[in-house]
A and B are shown apart, each in its own frame.
Chain A
Amino acid sequence: MIGFGLQFTLLVAAAALPAGPLDFKARNMRIEPQERRVVLQGDVQLSRGDLNVTGQHAVAEYGRDQPATAQKPRGRGQSTHPEAGLGGQTVQRFTVRGNVHVQRGSRTANGEEGVVDVPGQTLVLTGTPDAPPVVRDGSEVLSGERILLRLDSEDVDVIRPRLVLKRSLAEDGQAKPTPVRVEADHLVLLQARRLARFTDDVVVRRGDAVVRSPRMEARYDPDGQLTRLELRGGVDVRQGERRATGETADYDAQARTLVLLGDPKLYDQGDVLSGDRIDLGLDSKEVRVERARGRLRPEAHKGERGAP
């Protein structure tokens, strides 16, 4: 089934954005002091440290909590106090729209709108139903309804992620790994812990195998290679005519086996097996059941390879 790597989030060296100003380029800049904002229009480029964001339009909003200090122009003058300055002298939020492209290290992201919360150190990308936001790292592609990139780490938070992972572990006799698709309501990638946590209606598809579970955690080694998947809260595995269930399932990426525990059961063309533990080799389609008990119907398997 699995053998994939979410390691794309782990290959990028984590580094917080450096302090200091944000550099920008655009065709035009409009200053709107009453609205406490600056608008950049046309071929907008924003950069700070290794973060680069481009788009067609950007709005930089200033904070309200630090009143600007009025300065008196030289020479005679009347009242010099502005009635409403930009407020704070620093930008709190950026909104970039139109073909938004984000690059940081080897990671890129695209969306229709990107909102940077400067104090919160996040960048939220959204798109349209036809063009959802996408994060790419090498050949790995992650999309979802909403992607939150943390700017002070490499962590990513995705609402309704749609993950297509082509960087699977090599399989015997196959030149290219089988793509694996993961769907869920929510995904949090915790780079420092080398952990990807999927929650709510997790669905993993690989070839003809489909695994469903409420929760799944993917763990990685320091090189970013997937080592283990842990599915919890009830697991349902379907592959062709075969179905297996259990309370939990652990996938060993090296052995490429899925171990079901917690009243595991295997259903296969009328056979029903239960045991203390069921090991499924999803490539080899071998099954091993410990302390097996159940009902077998040999006549249902006539004509199968290896059947009498």
Chain B
Amino acid sequence: MGVLVLALVWGCGNSANPPVSSISIPDVPDLSLQVVAFARLSEGQVVARGTAARLDYRRSGGRLVASRATADVQPLPGSSLAAFGTLRFVAQDAAGEVPNRRGTASGGVRLDAARGDTALTERVEYDGDVLRGNAPVAAHGPGYRVNGNGLFARVDGSAIQLTSGVEGQLEMEAPR
């Protein structure tokens, strides 16, 4: 979900000729984009791409607000996240402060991984390299299904935890 915020931040400059609206009234965004598509490049490779129904940018504080945002992230080979394959993040609302590398995704946040994992929660906060959530999380994937009351994850995938009380099921191999 932080990746989503970051991806939106990164992708802002890559949008494909979006329509531009008002930029001069203090209470409104300096830049408002409708139907945004973006891509994130790293070392010449596309590592994330996504869309948003609307993206507002306020120059002051470098604040971005997006609605109906989607981001597909391709983890770097060899990274902890690589095992999941391509990750798709979807959030109803996302907001972030680019300089501070902080943000939130809320209004229903969903993650789907190519491997078959899915996670749903109401709200996630991103701070630096860490994602945190205090809302209930429901996740399932290959061989597991779990409900937790919070989450903690590092965006490089080196830690992925459901916290604050978890319960679920693990699929068992058949007896020999």
Q: Which residues from chain A sit less than 8 Å from chain B, CB to CB?
A: 16, 19-34, 38, 40, 48, 60, 62-63, 68-86, 88-92, 118-121, 152
Shortest beta-carbon distance from B155 to chain A in Å: 15
**A72 lies within 8 A of B114 (CB):** yes
**A70 lies within 8 A of B114 (CB):** yes
Shortest beta-carbon distance from B19 to chain A in Å: 21
**B115 lies within 8 A of A85 (CB):** yes
Contact of B83 with A by CB under 8 A: yes
Given contacts A80-B85, A119-B176, 15 further A-B contacts (CB under 8 A): A21-B145, A21-B170, A21-B171, A22-B170, A24-B169, A27-B166, A28-B164, A30-B161, A34-B80, A68-B142, A73-B87, A82-B114, A90-B171, A90-B174, A91-B170
**A24 lies within 8 A of B85 (CB):** no
Which of B2-10, B70-78, B127-135 is the contact stretch? B70-78
Known A-B contacts A71-B116, A81-B114, A86-B115; A19 and B174 likewise in contact (beta carbons under 8 Å): yes
Residue from A16, A22, A68 within 8 A of B172 (CB atoms): A22
Shortest beta-carbon distance from A14 to chain B in Å: 15
- With a cutoff of 8 Å between Cβ atoms, the chain B residues found around residue A24 in the complex are 166-170
- With a cutoff of 8 Å between Cβ atoms, the chain B residues found around residue A68 in the complex are 115-116, 142
- With a cutoff of 8 Å between Cβ atoms, the chain B residues found around residue A34 in the complex are 80, 82-83
Distance in angstroms between the alpha carbons of A19 and B160 in the assembled complex: 29
**B82 lies within 8 A of A77 (CB):** no
For B142, the closest partner residue in chain A by CB is A89
Within 8 A of A (CB), among B38-89: 46, 49, 70, 72, 74, 77-78, 80, 82-88
Contact of B162 with A by CB under 8 A: yes
**B173 lies within 8 A of A119 (CB):** yes
Q: Is the interface of A mostly helix, strand, loop or mixed?
A: loop
Within 8 A of A (CB), among B81-125: 82-88, 112-116
- With a cutoff of 8 Å between Cβ atoms, the chain B residues found around residue A120 in the complex are 175-176
Shortest beta-carbon distance from B151 to chain A in Å: 10
Known A-B contacts A68-B116, A78-B74; A29 and B146 likewise in contact (beta carbons under 8 Å): yes
Residue from A22, A70, A121 within 8 A of B169 (CB atoms): A22
Shortest beta-carbon distance from B168 to chain A in Å: 6
Contact of B165 with A by CB under 8 A: yes
**A118 lies within 8 A of B172 (CB):** yes
**A86 lies within 8 A of B70 (CB):** no
Closest 9 CB pairs between A and B?
A82-B85, A33-B83, A73-B88, A21-B169, A80-B114, A89-B142, A90-B173, A89-B143, A25-B167
